[in-house]
Amino acid sequence: MVRKVKNLLMISNYNDMPVLYSFRRCPFAMRARLAIYYSKTECVIREVLLSNKPKELVEISPKATVPVMCLANGLVIEESLEIMEWCFEVNDPYNFMSIYTQHKSDIKRMIGLIDGPFKDYLDKYKYSSRYNHEDKIKNRNKACDILSEIENKINDSYYTFDYQLSYLDLAILPLIRQYMLVDKDWFTTSMPHKKIKHWLNNFLESDALSEVMVKFPVWKRGDEAQLFPLI
């Protein structure tokens, strides 16, 4: 959702930059940071604790979940995919939106699978102690079944489209990385989708991941503005 706020909190000397409220480990915030990184769109980043959200975030976005991007003109973008699209509308040096436009329905369907049923099974797998009546391994395997569609989509160059990184890759890699982290040994040795393993490993070894996973201190009012990305 994109909304307009009346009382945008301005940042001294950085009034023309977007402000990103982020949480380092959140895969949706990672998705937004990847788009910022690949679009070469510098912003001010504010790392937050989801257990202690700053009132500035709640004031501009009542849902108060990350990522949230606040633009200098007062527009607030509250969804990770909308942040991605905004970034690549501003600057698209890798031509991500060309492939997105050509294959929009397919890309949206694949993202819907990952953001929807896959994420549901992932949560029940990762946080199984919160779901008393759910079988952890059963949910792991159901998520793995959904990944078969991604496995079939990945080509011999280990991308989902053509021979280069795409919008779809950026959108779903953070969630599949989270799935891998629940049980790395099982993922490495027993998870059956070999192309996904190679595809994900390329991402894990990339400069992009190193940049988007830089650990920033938790932001509080009065702190000096922290720019992202660092390079």
Domain boundaries in the chain? 2-94+213-228, 96-209
Find the mean pLDDT for residues 53-80.
Answer: 93
Determine the length of the chain: 231
Find the mean pLDDT for residues 16-44.
Answer: 96
- pTM, entire model: 0.92
CB 143 within 8 A of CB 124: no
Find the mean pLDDT for residues 131-137.
Answer: 86
As a whole number, the mean pLDDT across the chain is 92
**Position 10 confidence tier, pLDDT thresholds 50, 70, 90:** very low
Cα–Cα distance, 209 to 214 (Å, whole number): 9
Residues contacting 8, CB < 8 A, separation 6+: 60, 70, 72, 74
User: Would you say domain 96-209 falls under CATH 1.10.150.240?
Assistant: no
For 126, the enclosing helix (H) or strand (E) is: helix 119-126
**Architecture of the domain delimited by 2-94+213-228:** 3-Layer(aba) Sandwich (3.40)
What local confidence, expressed as pLDDT, does residue 32 receive?
A: 98
Instruction: Answer yes or no: same fold for 2-94+213-228 and 96-209.
Output: no
What local confidence, expressed as pLDDT, does residue 128 receive?
A: 86
**Strand, coil or helix: what is 78?**
coil
For the sheet containing 227-228, what is the strand order?
2-4, 75-77, 68-70, 19-22, 43-47, 227-228
